Structure 1
Amino acid sequence: MRFLLAPLILFVFLLKPSYAIKKDTLKLQLKWRHQFQFAGYYAALIKGYYKEEGLNVELIPGGPNISPVQEILKGNADIGVFDPNVVLRNTKEKPLVVLSTIMQSSPYVIISLKRKNILKPSDLIGKTILADQDQGWNIFKAVLLKEGIKSDLIDVIPRKNDSEEIAEGKADAVVTYITTQPQRLQKLGLSVNMIRPVEYGVDFYGDVIFTTKSFAYENPERTDAFIRATLKGWEYAFEHEDELIDYILTLPGVKNYGNNRAFLKIEAQQVKKLVMPDLVQIGHMNIGRWQYMLQIYQQLGIADKKVSLKDFIYNSEDERLNKWLKPIVYAAIAAFIIIVVIVVINWQLRKLVKTKTAELSAEIENRKSAELSAKRNEEKLKLAIKSANIGIWDWDVINKKAFISRDWCEMLGIDYQPSLNKANLLDFVHPDDKIIALKSFKEFKRGNKKRQIFQVRLKLKNGEVLHVMISFTANNYTDKLRNKVSGIVINIDKIRRKEFQLIKVSEELMRSNNELKKFAYITSHNLRAPIVNIEALFGMLNVDTLNPEDLVIVNHIKASIDKLSGVLNDLIEIVSHEIKSEEKCSTNVNIEEVCVRVINSLESKLVKAHAKVKLELDVNTLFYPEKYLESAVFCLLSNAINYKSNHLNLEIHITSQLINNDVVLKVKDNGLGIDLKKNAGKMFGLYQRFHQHTEGRGIGLFILKSHVESLGGSIEVESEPNKGATFILRFPQPESLEM
Structure 2
Amino acid sequence: MSEKRDLTDSTKGIYDQIAKDNDYYRSIIENNSFYIIKTDLNGNYTYMNPFFCKMLSIREEDYLGKESLSLIMPVDHEVCKETVIKCFEDPEKSHWVILRKPVPNGVLSTQWEFKVLMDDEGQPAEILCIGHDITPLIIKQEELQSLVEVTAEQNKRLVNFTYIISHNIRSHVANIIGIIDLGNEEDIENSKEMWSILQETAGNLDETLHNLNSIIAIQSQTNLPLSYFNIQHEINRIVKSIQILVTEANTTIHYDFDKKAQLYTNPAYFESIILNLLTNALKYKSPDRPLSIDIGWDEQEKYTVLSFKDNGIGIDVERYKDELFGMYKIFHGNKNARGLGLYIIKTQIEAMRGRIEVESEVGENTTFKLFFLNNP
TM-score, normalized by length of structure 2? 0.44
Say which one has the larger Rg.
1
Q: Which structure's relative contact order is higher, taking Cα pairs within 8 Å and 6+ residues apart?
A: 2
TM-score using structure 1 length: 0.23
